[in-house]
């Protein structure tokens, strides 16, 4: 992948949002790019949402416990700086990274988590799927099976990392871990309820709900880092 320059497009209108549709990407370069953007941005830099899928990887949050990784096999494990325990990313899972100036948006961290969960719930509703959040276990669930995970980091008043929504990918790697630190947690995916679902269409619907109410007056979609 070609990494973006950190905050290479400062703007004078903070209501601008750039949405990047990036396809399938390796994990670590994207993580480093998120961190670089967050560390270099100022109050004039535009917010961004990155939509992508990852090559297979387990990521372990900064407070993650090694005992929750049961049998990783040939899938690499990456220690990262988000909250939460271990999760899996792979093709067929929609990942949305939210690089938002939450001070500028007048959002606290808890309000941002609630906003993300509600956006996922509304997206699933468009597919006829009823889901809900749990106050003691961030994420979104369908009949007690987890369909979406959240893991955020707030630095310098800005968010990065984000959410992972299972669309039509292989769920078997979740059996190699205790997902999000919960032994025996059942995982599910959107394709189990609507077999026409794919990451591209789900990404469009999810983005629509993510941006609702955040006050952006200009939204631009791009297919790359350029």
- Token code pair at residue 16: 């601008």
Please give the pLDDT value at position 6.
56
- Token code pair at residue 210: 């993510």
150 is in an annotated binding site: yes
Residue 12, pLDDT > 50, answer no
Strand 93-101 with 86-89, pairing: unpaired
Please give the pLDDT value at position 55.
98
Q: Is residue 116 part of a domain?
A: yes
In angstroms, what is the C-alpha Rg of the chain? 16
163 is in an annotated binding site: yes
**Model's pTM, two decimal places?**
0.92
Could you give the dihedral angle defined by the CA atoms of residues 117, 153, 47 and 3, in that order, rounded to the nearest 10 degrees? -120
For 115-164, write each residue's pLDDT tens digit: 999 999 999 999 999 999 998 888 999 999 999 999 999 999 999 999 99
164 is in an annotated binding site: yes
Q: Is residue 1 part of a domain?
A: no
70 is in an annotated binding site: no
Give the structural domain span for 91.
16-222
Please give the pLDDT value at position 64.
78
Length of the chain in residues, anyone? Answer: 226
Q: Is residue 11 part of a domain?
A: no
CATH of the domain at 123: 3.30.930.10
Q: Is residue 82 part of a domain?
A: yes
Q: How many Å separate Cα 80 from the centre of its chain?
A: 14
113 is in an annotated binding site: no
199 — phi, psi (to 5°)?
Answer: -65, -35
Instruction: Check if the beta carbon of residue 101 is closer than 8 Å to that of residue 45.
Output: yes
Q: Is residue 90 part of a domain?
A: yes
Could you give the residue numbers annotated as active site? 180
For 36-66, write each residue's pLDDT tens digit: 999 999 888 899 999 999 999 999 988 778 8
DSSP designation for 108: -
197 is in an annotated binding site: no
Q: Which of 214, 174, 205, 209 is nearest to 94 (CA)?
A: 205
């Amino acid at each position: 992948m070609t990494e973006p320059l950190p905050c290479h497009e400062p703007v004078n209108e903070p209501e601008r949002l750039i949405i990047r549709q990036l396809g399938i990407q390796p994990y670590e370069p994207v993580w480093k790019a998120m961190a670089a953007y967050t560390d270099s941005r100022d109050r004039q830099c535009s917010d961004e949402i990155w939509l992508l899928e990852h090559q297979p990887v387990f990521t372990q949050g900064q407070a993650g416990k090694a005992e929750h990784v049961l049998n990783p096999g040939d899938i690499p494990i990456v220690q990262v700086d988000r909250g939460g325990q271990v999760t899996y990313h792979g093709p067929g899972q929609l990942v949305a990274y939210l690089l938002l100036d939450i001070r500028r948006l007048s959002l606290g961290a808890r309000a941002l988590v609630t906003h993300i969960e509600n956006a996922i719930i509304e997206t699933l509703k468009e597919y006829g799927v009823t889901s809900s959040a749990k106050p003691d276990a961030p994420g979104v669930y369908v009949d007690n099976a987890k369909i979406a995970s959240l893991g955020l980091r707030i630095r310098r008043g800005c968010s990065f990392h984000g959410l992972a929504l299972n669309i039509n990918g292989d769920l078997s790697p979740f059996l190699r871990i205790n997902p999000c630190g919960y032994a025996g947690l059942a995982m599910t995916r959107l394709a189990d309820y609507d077999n026409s679902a794919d990451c591209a269409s789900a990404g469009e619907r999810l983005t629509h709900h993510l941006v609702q109410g955040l006050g952006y007056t200009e939204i631009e979609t791009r297919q790359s880092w350029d």
